[in-house]
Chain A
Amino acid sequence: MTATIEDLTIDLTDDRERHASITGTLTTEQVDEIGRRLDSIRADIESDLGADDAAYIRRLIRIHRYLEISGRATLMASILPPAWLAGTGLLATAKILENMELGHNIMHGQWDWMRDPTIHSSTWEWDNAISAADWKQSHNDMHHMWTNVIGKDKDVGYGRLRVTSDQEWRKDHLFQVGTNVLIALFFEYGISMYDATLEEIKKTDAPGHPRIRALRSLWGKVKPQVLKDYVAFPLLSGISAPTTFTANFTANIIRNVWTHTIIFCGHFPDDVEYFTEEEIEGESKGEWYLRQLMGSANIEGSTLFHTMSGNLSHQIEHHLFPDLPSNRYAEIAPQVKEICVEFGLPYTTGRLGKQSFEVWRSLAALSLPDDVRERLRIAA
């Protein structure tokens, strides 16, 4: 199909208007320049990856495994309260590391450059209720492509919560603070059920009811998890069986709540932007970068905090460069910030307490219908 000059010109103007929510007052040249600068940050890191980076992830994997072994070994004596406490702490720390710094990042392909089949996005399976395959599809593909696009990015509220006033209010939002507490406690199951249901419902030509199929495929992944934490290790600990059960349960809850807290701080604090499908149509590379920047928020903290959050405290850097190894995010953050300062772009960040408070406050405020909110003069 051939287009005339007139058609092309009109399209460009439309694009500029359409993308205004992303580009603001920046010119096309500026947006392209931002894209080039970010591309070159990426290229610098990619060409610099080497033995030190490989050593980092291998060391972290070793630390995780030692923490897990110590945790589980300590819990063999979990009938003694000090052992229960110490073991639960060790195991929770191990599970957090495994979920965030290891699992999430490895499955993003951040370490695929090493060509190690045991540390690769195509083979890594994690200690979680959702399978790697399902997670990669809903996260790597959908969430990172459609970041913060209402209606397409399912992470915007996970189909249940109202996190921005751009979402329409529904009656069940009234209870969403309580719902979120439950989601936090049982996060791994919340995510996996929500993802599994999505996938099964997509397969319209497969036999059987989609929800039943979803539950069956979910059980395939959940069963070995349940057997491991709630049957095998308790039994192995002899008389400590009931306390090992409660310890493992608690460790999972701690992991769930921690990951939920970090993840919700990534996109739901104040000042994070949301977009519509129309607004992003025909997005350029520079505009994609800008949407990732404006749709994400960082959390400030120590190096240990960054590691325990799987470097998702560098949510902005992660969204700009999802497949760069996480150990490099802290290094490039100042360079990203410099670009933001130069072009007058937002760089949303804050300490954990503040970011988390903003998230829960928004949830509470948005649980009310808009007209009630306005009458009570509550912002969201």
Chain B
Amino acid sequence: MTRILSLAQRLTSPLLPDDYLTLIDPLLAQGSLRGRIVTVEAESRDSSTIVVRAARAVAAFKAGQHIGVGVDLNGVRHWRTFSLSGAEPLGPTQALQITVKATGSGGVSDHLVHDAKAGDVLFLDPPSGDFTLPEHTAEPLLLIAGGSGITPLLSMIRTLAQAENPPSVHLIYSARSLDDMVALAELRAYADTKPWFTLTAWESGIRGRIDQPSLALIEPDWQQSIAYVCGPAPMLTAVDGWWREAGLTQRLKIEQFQTQLLVVDGEGGTANFTASSRTSNAAANESLMSVGEASGVLMPSGCRIGICHTCVVPLKSGKVRDLRTGRVHGEPGEPIQTCINAAACDVALDV
């Protein structure tokens, strides 16, 4: 196939065969991965489960991993990362299932929940991520979900539901109310029929946020479990703190969906994107990724919250401020994550 493509390239030069294949069907693109939405099912008033059929099979992903989804909104392409919510496949698969919660800010999530329909074409990044179950799952698992953080944990539970000898699993699912909880009926069915599974549905709107005493009451053996937590940043900080105090950090795995960025008082500067010949004002609070994108620069991006390091570009000059910690840093040549760094003065980036 690659030989045919490279011969075909002689005829299409300087374009690629993809540029002609996509005229027939966008899913024929070989250089990038696309998919077509098969179903959109509402899970609650602001979340939906979307099943996408990828143009080509991707390697069997692990429960807890995520994919990148690209959507054109108002002519502009936006990318966001979503956890896969379906069970692990047995082998390479074209079926990818995500469960999306609308944020109300008019972006990708809102579009997917409210406007997307079967037949729509999406751009995809293959599954990746290391928020996955341990290889040999014999020890008890404690899964803590806050709001939309349920998605990777759903994938894990659905996978274990098909396993031969699953370990004991306790899911603590915290959301504002029961109405906001996704797949509640399915989870209750597991709790009723599977002796290894326990569900605690915590309505934070009524009972407030979970604190450490409550955790100890819900799951007295929490220190003996391997724990996975996914949810809003304050919840992750709190949970991380409890495990740290108990000296058990290595038995806790955290999956972040957002990152808390500082509101900075200081000065920004101008950002010069040297390879793209673009310069723009860069506010002290604005990530360099967002400054670049607003100027039309093709900024590499991935999780957009400082974890995956896909967005790293070399800093040519100037200093940047890490928006998570406030730390000002930067040497010429230093690779900088553009999604969580802002200009601390005039900067130049090689992108």
Partners in one complex: yes
Among the listed stretches B12-20, B143-151, B263-271, which one makes contact with chain A, having 4 or more residues with CB under 8 Å of it?
Answer: B12-20
Cβ contact within 8 Å between B11 and A236: yes
A112-B296, A113-B76 known; A118-B19 Cβ under 8 A: yes
A207 within 8 A of B: no
B195 at the interface (CB under 8 A from A): no
* Most chain A beta-carbon contacts within 10 A, residue among B14, B20, B75: B75
Q: A51-B74, A112-B296, A116-B77 are in contact. Are A65 and B14 (CB under 8 A)?
A: no
A291, CB-defined interface residue at 8 Å: no
For B20, list chain A residues within 8 Å (CB): 65, 69
A140 in the interface (beta carbon within 8 A) = yes
Residues 111-160 of A contacting B (Cβ, < 8 Å) = 112-118, 120-123, 125-127, 136, 140-141
Confirm or deny: B221 has a beta carbon within 8 angstroms of a beta carbon on chain A.
no
Q: Which residues of B contact A121 (CB under 8 A)?
A: 276
Interface of A is mostly: helix
Are A112 and B11 neighbours in the complex by a CB distance under 8 Å? Answer: no
Closest approach, in angstroms, between the C-beta of A251 and any C-beta of chain B? 15
Which of A186-194, A222-230, A266-274, A352-360 contacts its partner? A222-230
By a CB distance below 8 angstroms, the chain B residues around A328 are: none
- Total number of A-B contacts with CB less than 8 angstroms? 71
Q: A50-B75, A51-B74, A114-B76 are in contact. Are A120 and B298 (CB under 8 A)?
A: yes
- Scan A24-39; emit 1 where CB is below 8 A from any B CB, else 0: 0000000000000000
- Asked if residues B296 and A141 are in contact (CB atoms below 8 Å), the reply is no
Please give me the residue from chain B that is nearest to A137 by CB atom. B277
| Contacting pair B23 A112 (CB below 8 A) | no
Contact residue among B10, B23, B77, B298 (Cβ-Cβ distance under 8 Å from A123): B298
Residue contact A225 to B75, C-beta cutoff 8 Å:
no
Please report the C-alpha to C-alpha distance between residue A52 and residue B14 in the assembled complex, in whole angstroms: 27
Query: Which B residue's beta carbon lies closest to that of A231?
Result: B10
State how many residues of chain A have any CB contact under 8 Å with chain B: 37
Residue A210 lies at the interface, judged by CB distance under 8 Å to chain B = no
Alpha-carbon separation in the docked complex, A121 to B23 (Å): 21
Q: For residue B23, which residues in chain A have a CB less than 8 angstroms away from its CB?
A: 62, 65-66
For the complex, is B192 an interface residue (Cβ under 8 Å from A)? no
Tell me which residues across on chain B come within 8 A of A233, comparing CB atoms. 11
In angstroms, Cα B125 to Cα A127, docked, is: 30
B77, A122: Cβ atoms under 8 Å? no
B41 close to A (CB within 8 Å): no
The reply to whether A50 and B74 form a contact with Cβ atoms under 8 Å apart is: yes
Residues of A within 8 A of B77 (CB): 114-116
CB of B293 within 8 A of chain A? yes
The CA of A121 and the CA of B298, in the complex, are separated in Å by: 9
C-alpha gap A298/B166 in the complex (Å): 75
Once the chains bind, are B14 and A127 in contact (CB under 8 Å)? yes
Closest 10 CB pairs of A and B: A54-B75, A112-B296, A125-B14, A50-B74, A224-B13, A115-B77, A51-B75, A113-B296, A50-B75, A232-B10
Binding site for B on A (CB under 8 A): 49-55, 62, 65-66, 69, 109, 112-118, 120-123, 125-127, 136, 140-141, 224-225, 227-228, 232-233, 236, 323
